[in-house]
């Protein structure tokens, strides 16, 4: 049997921020992530149930952009296999040597065809022990639960132009092995959104039509909370800290999860605190297909309705960086 490369999980996102100290305060001190290390302009963070060196990389910059969505392969040799696959299919990529990101091995980077987002593929990553003061007595988590208690990265929501969503989804499915789990399709019209995953989650990556028809736009990254009560507690605390809440808490029909969208005060990047949801184990699971008639329930099952107006604050996206290095 020929060995095919595969993606195992969403590894991390790299976000640039014009105020890295304020962003660190938000992710580390408020959300409760561990600052694992720093090198030059970058800070590396992980949540308390994560063992990999980082699930979020913050980059000191004068702009707030998505620098990479990084996907971890299933095996070390898959990085090289994907490089060959991209080359054979005419997708340009660059090789990123081990150590370019702290704790991380060799990687490749390219722009996702049709999506336009900078994607990084890697496998090797260190799994350092947390320092004594943060380490949990529980053997199954890397550190103690702190702050609002985000426990792991959950998914990334990427926007592209309406006419590209279908092709971008197809590229993810055919080339990286993502599965469509839920989607919003206009009858006889374009695919407007797709929730895709390589794990039992409903989505590791969501691809959504951008109301302004921008390619390569970044809407949000989500971090997972244990339960709905944590979302309500988070809202209470974030309100008191005067941190901008874009939407929620409420519940999406899509994914069946509670949402709370907030802004990192250092960068303005939108962050979703995500709780609940269902998991998919069936190998022949049929995706849930939303239509214009049902999509309202899909976006908002209860809570403040999700606005679709392109001028609404919630629809605004940040850009992806245009460079791979
Ligand atoms: Fe989301």
Q: Are residues 73 and 221 in the same domain?
A: no
| Domain CATH number, residue 32 | 3.10.180.10
Residue from 113, 315, 313 nearest 213 by CA: 315
Using DSSP, state whether 212 is helix, strand or coil: coil
The answer to whether residues 34 and 134 touch, using CB atoms and an 8 Å cutoff, is yes
Q: How far is the CA of 221 from the centre of ligand 1 (A)?
A: 7
Looking at residue 1, its pLDDT comes to 52
pLDDT band at 91 (very low <50, low <70, confident <90, very high): very high
Looking at residue 41, its pLDDT comes to 96
Q: Are residues 167 and 297 in the same domain?
A: yes
pTM tops 0.75, yes or no: yes
Q: How far is the CA of 156 from the centre of ligand 1 (A)?
A: 7
Asked if pLDDT for residue 308 goes beyond 80, the answer is: no
Q: Are residues 292 and 164 in the same domain?
A: yes
Domain count, the chain: 2
CA–CA gap between residue 267 and residue 130 (Å, rounded) = 26
CA–CA gap between residue 79 and residue 228 (Å, rounded) = 37
Round the average pLDDT of the chain to a whole number and report it: 96
Q: How far is the CA of 320 from the centre of ligand 1 (A)?
A: 17
Q: How far is the CA of 316 from the centre of ligand 1 (A)?
A: 14
**pLDDT tens by residue, 162-217:** 999 999 999 999 999 999 999 999 999 999 999 999 999 999 999 999 988 999 99
Pinpoint the alpha helices (H) of 89-191: 162-176
- Our CA angle for 241, 143, 151, nearest 5°, is 60
Residue from 215, 212, 155, 174 nearest 9 by CA: 155
Q: Are residues 112 and 159 in the same domain?
A: no
Q: What is the DSSP string of 188-202?
A: TS-EEEEEEESSSBS
Mean pLDDT over 135-144 rounds to: 97
**pLDDT tens by residue, 99-109:** 999 999 999 99
Q: How far is the CA of 323 from the centre of ligand 1 (A)?
A: 25
The percent of residues in the chain predicted with pLDDT above 70, rounded, is: 99
> Which of 75, 107, 122 is at the close of a domain?
122
Mean pLDDT over 251-255 rounds to: 97
Looking at residue 86, its pLDDT comes to 98
Q: Are residues 109 and 181 in the same domain?
A: no
Q: How far is the CA of 252 from the centre of ligand 1 (A)?
A: 9
Q: How far is the CA of 99 from the centre of ligand 1 (A)?
A: 30
Q: How far is the CA of 222 from the centre of ligand 1 (A)?
A: 6
Q: Which residue has the higher pLDDT, 120 or 315?
A: 120
């Amino acid at each position: 049997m020929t060995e095919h490369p595969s993606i195992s999980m969403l590894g991390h996102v790299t976000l640039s921020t014009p105020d890295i100290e304020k962003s660190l305060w938000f992710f580390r001190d408020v959300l409760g992530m561990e600052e694992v290390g720093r090198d030059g302009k970058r800070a590396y963070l992980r949540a308390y149930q994560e063992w990999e060196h980082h699930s979020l990389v913050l980059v000191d910059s004068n702009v707030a952009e998505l620098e990479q969505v990084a996907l971890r392969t299933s095996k070390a040799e898959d990085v090289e296999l994907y490089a060959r696959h991209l080359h054979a299919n005419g997708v340009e990529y660059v090789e990123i040597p081990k150590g370019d990101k702290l704790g991380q091995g060799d990687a490749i980077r390219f722009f996702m065809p049709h999506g336009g987002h900078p994607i990084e593929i890697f496998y090797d990553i260190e799994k350092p022990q947390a320092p004594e003061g943060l380490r949990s007595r529980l053997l199954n988590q890397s550190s103690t639960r702190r702050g609002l208690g985000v426990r792991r990265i959950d998914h990334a929501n990427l926007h592209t132009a309406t006419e590209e969503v279908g092709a971008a989804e197809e590229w993810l499915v055919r080339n990286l092995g993502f599965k469509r789990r839920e989607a919003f399709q206009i009858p006889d019209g374009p695919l407007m959104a797709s929730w895709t995953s390589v794990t039992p989650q409903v989505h590791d990556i969501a691809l959504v039509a951008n109301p302004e028809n921008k390619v390569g736009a970044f809407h949000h990254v989500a971090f997972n909370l244990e339960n709905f009560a944590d979302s309500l507690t988070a809202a209470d605390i974030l309100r008191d800290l005067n941190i901008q809440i874009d939407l929620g808490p409420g519940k999406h029909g899509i994914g069946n999860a509670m949402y709370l969208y907030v802004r990192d005060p250092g960068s303005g990047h939108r962050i979703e605190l995500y709780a609940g949801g269902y998991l998919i184990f069936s190998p022949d699971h049929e995706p849930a297909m939303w239509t214009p008639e049902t999509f309202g329930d899909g976006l908002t099952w209860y809570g403040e309705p999700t606005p679709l107006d392109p001028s609404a604050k919630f629809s605004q996206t940040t850009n992806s960086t245009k460079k791979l290095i």
